[in-house]
Amino acid sequence: MTIPIHARVLLTLCCALLCCAADQLPPIPQTPKRPVTDDYRGVKVVDDYRWLEQAADPEVREWSGSQNARTRAYLDRLPARGAIVEQLTHWYTGQSPRFSALTSQGGVLFAIETQPPKLQPFLVTLSSADEPGSAHVVVDPNTLDPSGGTTIDFYVPSHDGKLVAVSLSKGGSEEGSVSVFEVATGQPLSDAIPRVNGATAGGSVAWNGDATGFWYTRYPRAGERPAADLHFFQQVWFHRIGTPTAQDQYALGKELPRIAEVALEASDDGKFVLARVANGDGGEFLHYMLGPEGRWNQITLLSDKTSQAAFGAGGSLYLLSRKDAPMGKLLEVSPPAFSLDKAKTVVTAGRSSIDGFLAAGPYLYVRYMAGGPSKLLAKEMGKEQKAVDILPVSSVGQLARAPGDQLLFENESFVEPAAWYRYDPASGQAKKTALAETSPAAFGDVEVSRQFAVSKDGTRVPMSILRRKGTRLDGNNPTLLYGYGGYSISEEPRFSARRRWWLDHGGVWVTANLRGGAEFGEAWHEQGRLTSKQNVFDDFIACAEYLIKAKYTNPEKLAIEGGSNGGLLMGAALTQRPELFRAVVSHVGIYDMLRVENFPNGAFNVTEFGTIKEADQFRALYAYSPYHHVKDGADYPAVLFLTGDNDGRVDPMNSRKMAARLQAATHSPRPIFLRTSSSTGHGIGTALNERIEQDADVFAFLFDQLGMK
């Protein structure tokens, strides 16, 4: 094909400008190749950058610092960045307080309050959901640590509402210790339990009935197991208030898998304690119950396919099962045996998948996932379900009990900030409470449409597309496509003020509902995990192709973004179809799929991704592993990798190795940058000021690469 003279001139000018910009930057750090050859089931694989896995090595630290300096030299000179920081600061700090994680105990309503410009959320009590002004601060990490480096992982109040156990961690590490506070005064007790929460298996607490103690999850402590096992073998122990932790008693866990993840919940009267045990991150669960007799009994098996569980009236237990029901069914089992053999099916899903539920008196409130957006229904035992009115194309978040068997639920959409609503089953009406967030970023001029792409195997893949009303479909709109696709995590409609900046500058924002999530039940998840993982990447590529074919954008104006498992998606997309995208933003991603299970949280991922120890799973992993499919001399898009030094979920070595490989391989003048934060981890607990800086870097990078003004 002959390129017209004016196009050749423009292309030459663009390349010259890019080269000029590159000349102004520090050079790419010298990254020597030190080949290590592994033999995987007879397949020899060479790894040139194995040495970058050693985070504590002074040479690696120096290399990472040089990468950061180069990235900062680029980002800080971009003329748009200052304006972006100013606007994001206005939007983020101008938002009203947001209340989340509502829990009622002993007649006291607890919540986590996010109140910009405070750097971290804090724990409060409220008189009711109609009186946000009544908030009484119990634990404030901003006071404990004015730098913003400490965050609340979780909290659990005692049944009488007088004490609360709070897990606190630092630097985004998620390595939390539990302290106990008096609710009325906010004063800490002497009780401090180390190593309760972690990035690998989480953490949990359940109080006994009289608030004299609690059960808690516990990771091995130094000296109890080899260093390589300190992030595994989670167990359950019991702590009595006022006693040294050395006197705590073992309760459960010696028989559990190495990658067990335990979540605890007590019945309303404290007589029973449920332990939900996940077998890693792949969606497999079993359950144990502790009764008044003091003995733990296993009540479900992995083969029962029960996931969520919650106590109801009279100590009965409700379980979400997907055995012979990919869309889900709710089972009721009764104390004291809680036998599945005598389970009663109380709700069976229809076309939408059961995504969550809450029991309150004679009512079951059931949240459904309908391809991405939510549905909410109320069911009185023995009667038909009734739909609860919610916002169009929206998500229903947490469900919480309110007095009188009423329901509090959180609802938000792409264009409406989150608000808590109270549903009264007697009237069938849902009314917004005073716990409603407002934002200085308004979206009244934005339209949301649901479209479908057709994947490689013919599967229809939904997308939510946001654009300002009147945006022309001329194929020239800067478009940002976001995806995840894994762990049964559904991409739901969420409000975000940061999208306002993109839309105001002619951009289109797209969220894809890929396989691997739970948008259409467990079958949707199964089609995107283990040896079927390539379906996720095919779905995402199909969405990109749809946006181009439908004239939303073109490859020179299309950017993609994802994080964690979505970072893996970014790596696969840019190595499999580099010509489709102009720019890539990848947060805390996984790229070396042959080495990931050698790191603590990677072992928990085996039930989702697979293992190199199984022949078919190794072949699948090697077939798409982004790090191993970078080709020398290929023209890759511009890429910004972001990671955090304290990430306990995805080791930052992934980002270091992938950045080095791409920098050495690409033939394109488009830059490859690595941004490493010393004060963050996987993203959980990131302080507000760091979030603003990070988002500003992302937008400045995208504006520059897509030619946005």
What amino acid positions are annotated as catalytic residues?
Answer: 564, 682
Strand bridging mode 205-207 / 638-644: unpaired
User: Going by C-beta distance under 8 Å and a sequence separation of 6 or more, which residues neighbour residue 658?
Assistant: 571, 589, 591, 592, 626, 627, 630, 641
**Number of Cβ within a 10 Å radius of residue 383:** 10
**Separation of first and last alpha carbons in the chain:** 31
Cβ(97)–Cβ(115) below 8 Å: yes
Cβ(261)–Cβ(604) below 8 Å: yes
Distance CA 388, CA 424 (A): 10
H or E element that contains 543: helix 534-549
Distance CA 143, CA 123 (A): 12
Q: Where are the beta strands (DSSP E) in 127-187?
A: 136-139, 150-157, 163-170, 176-182
Cβ(527)–Cβ(535) below 8 Å: yes
User: Going by C-beta distance under 8 Å and a sequence separation of 6 or more, which residues neighbour residue 273?
Assistant: 206, 215, 264, 265, 266, 267, 289, 290
H or E element that contains 307: strand 306-311
Distance CA 67, CA 70 (A): 5
Report the candidate in 105, 12, 200, 150 with the shortest Cα–Cα distance to residue 601.
Answer: 200
Distance CA 240, CA 166 (A): 16
Distance CA 283, CA 274 (A): 18
CA 34 to chain centre: 35
Number of Cα atoms under 13 Å in the Cβ half of residue 393 = 16
Strand bridging mode 353-360 / 363-369: antiparallel
Q: Which amino acid is at 144?
A: L
Cβ(312)–Cβ(318) below 8 Å: yes
Q: How far is CA 544 from CA 428, 554, 559, in A?
A: 42, 9, 9
Distance CA 591, CA 595 (A): 9
Cβ(189)–Cβ(182) below 8 Å: yes
Cβ(331)–Cβ(340) below 8 Å: yes
The token pair that represents 646 in the structure block: 């304290």
Cβ(479)–Cβ(552) below 8 Å: yes
Q: Write down the residue that tokens 């298996």 correspond to.
A: 201
Sheet holding 136-139, edge to edge: 98-105, 108-114, 122-126, 136-139
Helix axes 534-549, 615-624, angle to 10 degrees: 30
3-state helix, strand, coil in the chain (%, to 5): 25, 35, 40
Cβ(358)–Cβ(409) below 8 Å: no
The token pair that represents 651 in the structure block: 């080791």
User: Residue 372, by phi and psi: left (phi above 0), alpha (psi -120 to 50) or beta?
Assistant: left
